[in-house]
Amino acid sequence: MGDAIEALFISTGSEDNTTCSVQDLRTGTDLMRYKGGGVAQHHGLAMIDLHYVFAANSTKPLLHVWPINKQEQMAGLRFVLPGKVNALALTPDGNFLVAGIQENIYLWHMNSGRMLNTLSKHYQAVTCLRFTDNGEHFISGGKDGAVLVWDLTFSAAPLDTGGGKDSTEPLYSFNDHGLAVTDLYSGIGGIRSYLYTVSLDRCCKVYDLCGGILLLSVVFPVALHSVIVNKMETKVYVGSGDGKVFAFHMEKAPRMKEYHLEEEEIQAFVGHTAGKAITCLAINMSATSLVSGGEDNQVCVWDVDSRQLIKSLPLNGSVTNLRVRLLSPAVFLPEHKQPQLFADSLKRMITPRDVNDGVMLLIDQDYSKGRKTPEVDYTQSYPGTDEEILRKLIASMSAGKDVDEADEADSDVEEDESVSDEAKSDVEETDKVSSEEFEAMSEDDDGGDDEDDDNDDMPQTSKTNGIDVQELLAENARLKAESKRMFDIMFRFVSNGASVQADATGKSKRKRPHQK
């Protein structure tokens, strides 16, 4: 196993037998060439981890697949799609595939090959597709200037929401561009990230995906064809239509929604042929080198800080895709067998769910009668809350112990002094109420007479002063049971009220003490 290197995947519009080539970004050494797939479509190159390379044919409705360590395509596997693909994207885990065919977006589940849905919200052909870094959402751009943000869950499994509303409506619809969207980039953070889009209308727009709002629109002197952002999202690089790469600093962004860059403000990387569009951009892992490819049949590697050209790689056709991956050269050794993570074919029509499209679960006997609701354990508590006081009180009453004995049993848990005082006072008040009730009963049974003073010297029996001791003990037990039932009702009422209030306000009624 060798040291990790940064590999550059390049696809061109050349008519030779090579669809995609891989080179060492630092040394320029050829590592692999994938053959037999024709010309790869712009925005039509994707990868599943470091196992497979996917390329959409630019002239035929075909999707070609190569193991990363073999030049030839997979034998016996042929993905025929409903039409010629304009753009292609895979989730980071490789489970879902989206493809733009004309103005429609097709969604497949790769493990089963089922077509899940067809999304038709663009009015003209889709030009670019990209998933967020967590794979939960994907963004599409089209020739109609629209940028749509989709929720993968609702797109893959449409729901009947009622009221005539379609659950497959895009999460956001941005229609700020006046011409075709040529490229887009999504930062780190999933739906909480920033979205960067470029268009032929000379604008680079920055959106906040969390709020669905336009933050900034930077207007350049010429049309834009590509965009890339460093990992810190401090610098934005855009490829123009006149052979230059422009840099824009986000930390110095103006305090206005639309900003026009002047010629003297622009930091440009000059080295491509003038008048030829920069179609692809990529950046290395450390964000120190920028890679650009254009219609002038060359790939240029730049030093980011000095904007100096490090090297130029001449090619046989215009560059259609660039990808930079950190890997070990050992992945290209032919003896490694790649696990197949997808079906052998993709369905061309939406089909109902198959009986095998699921996961087998072994149900234990404990759950044979359905899901059980966990019972409340009154002996477990968290100090500093109302629930803790009631739990402790009820647990001590049910066990026939006082608060001091309960404290000795829970000596391994350090509780707040104020909570303990409140619990003790509650128990004392309860005992006081019980004793008062006991005395009141005794007075009622005596009928208010003072005959007990004359019988002090009588021996004690089961009946004292006309009162049956066994009946008193039974009544005392009944009062204790009734008191326990009342505290149980009070505990449920307080706990339910605290949970409802926490859901409504986001805060509990009492705060947990700070744990050091």
What is the per-residue pLDDT across 239-272, written as a single tens digit (0 to 9) for each?
A: 999 999 999 888 877 778 889 887 777 889 999 9
Mean pLDDT in residue range 363-376: 49
The pLDDT confidence band at residue 405, using thresholds 50, 70 and 90, is very low
Q: What percent of the chain has pLDDT over 70?
A: 71
Average pLDDT value for the chain: 80
Residue pointed to by tokens 């505990």: 491
> Residue 22 has what pLDDT?
95
Q: Is 98 part of a structural domain of the chain?
A: yes
Neighbours of 431 (CB within 10 A): 12
Q: Is 342 part of a structural domain of the chain?
A: no
Q: Among 299, 332, 365, which residue terminates a domain?
A: 332
Which residues form the domain of 404? Answer: 386-448+464-505
Of 484 and 461, more confident: 484
Burial class (CB within 10 angstroms; exposed 0-12, middle 13-18, buried 19+) of 396 = buried
> Residue 356 has what pLDDT?
60
293 shares a domain with 417: no
Q: Among 316, 332, 348, which residue terminates a domain?
A: 332
Mean pLDDT in residue range 360-371: 51
184 shares a domain with 70: yes
Total number of domains in the chain: 2
> Residue 2 has what pLDDT?
56
Phi, psi for 191 (deg, rounded to 5)? -75, -10
> Residue 307 has what pLDDT?
92
> Residue 108 has what pLDDT?
94
Question: Poorest-confidence range of 103-117, 164-178, 418-432, 463-477?
Answer: 418-432
121 shares a domain with 51: yes
Q: Is 230 part of a structural domain of the chain?
A: yes
Cβ atoms of 461 and 510 within 8 Å: the answer is no
> Residue 66 has what pLDDT?
94
* Bridge partners of residue 8, in order along the sequence: 23, 324
| 410 CB-near residues (< 8 Å, 6+ apart) | none
Task: Extract the tokens encoding 392.
Answer: 């402790």
Strands 172-174 and 5-12: unpaired
Distance CA 228, CA 277 (A): 15
> Residue 119 has what pLDDT?
94
418 shares a domain with 327: no
| 155 CB-near residues (< 8 Å, 6+ apart) | 107, 116, 117, 119, 168
Mean pLDDT in residue range 8-35: 92
Of 137 and 352, more confident: 137
pLDDT digits (tens, 9 = 90+) for 299-351: 999 999 999 999 999 999 999 999 999 999 999 998 888 888 888 888 888 87
Phi-psi group of 412: left, alpha or beta (phi > 0 → left; psi -120 to 50 → alpha; rest → beta): alpha
Could you give the 3-state DSSP secondary structure of residue 174?
strand
Neighbours of 110 (CB within 10 A): 19
pLDDT digits (tens, 9 = 90+) for 274-298: 999 999 999 999 999 999 999 999 9
Of 369 and 212, more confident: 212
Q: What percent of the chain has pLDDT over 90?
A: 51
State yes or no: pLDDT of 18 exceeds 80. Answer: yes
Distance CA 410, CA 404 (A): 10
Of 417 and 387, more confident: 387
Q: Is 428 part of a structural domain of the chain?
A: yes
Distance CA 241, CA 250 (A): 22
Distance CA 52, CA 113 (A): 16
State yes or no: pLDDT of 55 exceeds 90. Answer: yes
261 shares a domain with 155: yes
State yes or no: pLDDT of 410 exceeds 50. Answer: no
404 shares a domain with 308: no
Looking up residue 67, the CATH number of its domain turns out to be 2.130.10.10
250 shares a domain with 162: yes
Half-sphere exposure of 256 (CA within 13 A, CB side): 7
> Residue 497 has what pLDDT?
62
411 shares a domain with 303: no
Distance CA 430, CA 301 (A): 81
pLDDT digits (tens, 9 = 90+) for 77-118: 879 999 999 999 999 999 999 999 999 999 999 998 999 999
pLDDT digits (tens, 9 = 90+) for 424-446: 455 455 455 445 554 554 444 44
Residue type, 167: S
Mean pLDDT in residue range 49-75: 92
Residue type, 225: H
> Residue 406 has what pLDDT?
41
Distance CA 464, CA 444 (A): 15
Q: Is 273 part of a structural domain of the chain?
A: yes
> Residue 491 has what pLDDT?
79
Burial class (CB within 10 angstroms; exposed 0-12, middle 13-18, buried 19+) of 25 = buried
Could you give the 3-state DSSP secondary structure of residue 280?
strand
Q: Is 484 part of a structural domain of the chain?
A: yes
State yes or no: pLDDT of 467 exceeds 70. Answer: no
402 shares a domain with 279: no
186 shares a domain with 106: yes
Residues in the chain: 516
Q: Is 295 part of a structural domain of the chain?
A: yes
CA distances (Å), 148 to each of 10, 113, 173, 355, 434, in order? 28, 25, 5, 33, 69
416 shares a domain with 314: no
Q: Is 221 part of a structural domain of the chain?
A: yes
Question: Poorest-confidence range of 123-127, 215-219, 360-364, 481-485?
Answer: 360-364
pTM (two decimals) = 0.68
Distance CA 247, CA 268 (A): 6
Distance CA 276, CA 112 (A): 42
> Residue 449 has what pLDDT?
46
Query: What's the distance, Cα to Cα, between the start and end of the chain in Å?
Result: 46
